Homo-oligomer: A and B are copies of this chain.
């Protein structure tokens, strides 16, 4: 078991700015973690991640377990060395992907039994295997295996998921033997009394950090921040709170306003590859014919490589020609947008003007679509 520290450096209402210390250095909160599914944030290098402002990345246990295999990565010295990233790495448990992406899934108290989409081989992702994989990868922050029902779900389903998540969390703590630390995951869906129960049971076990799971899995978008905020209030003030898989820029702002500290989402990177780009003037669909002859930068307020070296016309051309360089530049831009937003929130918290920042951002063109 590794070491982990977290210090809240400033608060502004429920919003917090902090610093977390991991086995591979510090990261600042509010933190957004770019998603490097298969040991790479698609299309860009770790040096470019640094330039974009990332100081922690997330990688996916399920994908790396199937290919190239956690034992291979372990033998090669762990994921940090494998992907050439010297900073902190958080890995998910693999349960969510095993459940949602695999073939012929069967879930019970043992874990998730599934068939590999690569070769059909049958696997049981138990809490113990998830810990073994994440230990071999050498993750700094290891997520417990949890059960995350899609919403809406009947109360009984949510209740079972909470019980199973607590039981699995205990098994994870008992079996984990690696260089990182474990975060617990609060479930309970839209039932706040179940979330209360889940948060209490996990705190009885005791974790150096807690995640809010089961959010943005089918409930109305306008409930996301509310559920996340009410769950954050159930968690200890001196530990980081991680809202899993969320979300849009406005979701991040509303969640920070309610006391969340850490985030991950494929939205900036996946949207980049689809040609949907976040800018200070709103979301841009780079495919639009109107950009064909546009010599102006994608976002004049952005200092990333895509915005400082190329025109909208060129970015559109790369996208229309399905050129790799387009995916790459768009990914750099969207991540730069997200990571700058995190830094701006952090600054606003330190300066005691987070509420003004939030109001300004939520009424800015950035939350809409560029006309």
A: residues with CB less than 8 A from B are 38-40, 42-45, 67-68, 72, 75-77, 82-84, 292-293, 295, 305, 309-311, 313-314, 316-318, 320-321, 323-325, 327-328
Chain A interface helix/strand/loop/mixed = loop
Flag if A325 contacts B44 (CB, 8 Å). yes
Given A323-B38, A328-B324, A82-B43 contact (CB < 8 Å) = no
The distance in angstroms between the C-alpha atoms of A45 and B328, with both chains bound, is 10
- In the bound complex, CA of A38 to CA of B319 (Å): 11
Residues in B with CB closer than 8 Å to A292 are: 68, 72
Nearest residue in B to A84 (C-beta to C-beta)?
Answer: B309
* Residues in chain B near residue A316, CB distance under 8 A: 68
Task: Return the chain B residue nearest A46 by Cβ.
Answer: B309
> Is the pair A324, B323 in contact by a Cβ cutoff of 8 Å?
no
| Chain B residue with the shortest CB-CB distance to A331 | B324
B43 touching A328 by the CB < 8 A rule? yes
**26 A-B Cβ contacts within 8 A?**
A38-B321, A39-B314, A40-B323, A42-B324, A42-B325, A43-B323, A43-B324, A45-B305, A45-B325, A67-B317, A68-B292, A68-B313, A68-B316, A76-B293, A76-B295, A76-B311, A76-B314, A82-B311, A82-B313, A82-B317, A84-B309, A84-B310, A324-B324, A324-B327, A324-B328, A328-B328
How many whole Å from A313's CB to the nearest CB in chain B? Answer: 5
State the Cβ distance, A228 to closest chain B Cβ, in Å.
32
Chain B's closest residue to A313 (CB) is: B76
Residue of B nearest to A294 (CB): B76
Report the minimum CB–CB distance from A76 to chain B (whole Å): 5
Chain B residue nearest in CB terms to A63: B321
Q: From known contacts A40-B318, A305-B45, infer whether A72 and B324 are also in contact, taking CB-CB under 8 Å.
A: no
Tell me, in angstroms, the Cα distance from A305 to B45 when the chains sit together: 10
Residues of B within 8 A of A76 (CB): 293, 295, 311, 313-314
Beyond the given A38-B317, A40-B318, A72-B313, could you list 20 further A-B residue pairs with CB under 8 A, ordered by the A residue number? A38-B321, A39-B317, A40-B325, A42-B324, A43-B323, A43-B324, A43-B325, A43-B328, A44-B325, A45-B305, A45-B309, A67-B320, A67-B321, A68-B320, A72-B292, A82-B311, A82-B313, A84-B309, A324-B324, A328-B328
- Bound Cα distance A316, B73 (Å): 12
A67 to B316, CA, bound (A): 11
Alpha-carbon gap, A321 to B84, bound state (A): 17
Known: A76-B311, A84-B310, A311-B76. A317 touches B42 (CB 8 A): no
Q: How far is the CB of A338 from chain B (nearest CB, A)?
A: 19
Interchain CA distance A48-B207 in the complex, whole Å: 44
Q: Is the CB of B293 within 8 A of A72?
A: yes
**Chain B nearest CB: distance from A66 CB in Å?**
10
A342 to chain B, nearest CB (A): 24
- CA distance in complex: A310, B40 (Å): 12
Task: List the B side residues contacting A43 at CB < 8 Å.
Answer: 323-325, 328
Q: Cα distance A328–B295 when bound, in Å?
A: 26
Given contacts A39-B317, A320-B67, A295 and B45 within 8 Å (CB-CB): no
How far does the alpha carbon of A26 sit from the alpha carbon of B137 in the complex, in Å? 48
Q: Across the interface, name the chain B residue whose C-beta is closest to A305.
A: B45
Distance between Cα atoms of A114 and B43 in the complex (Å): 35
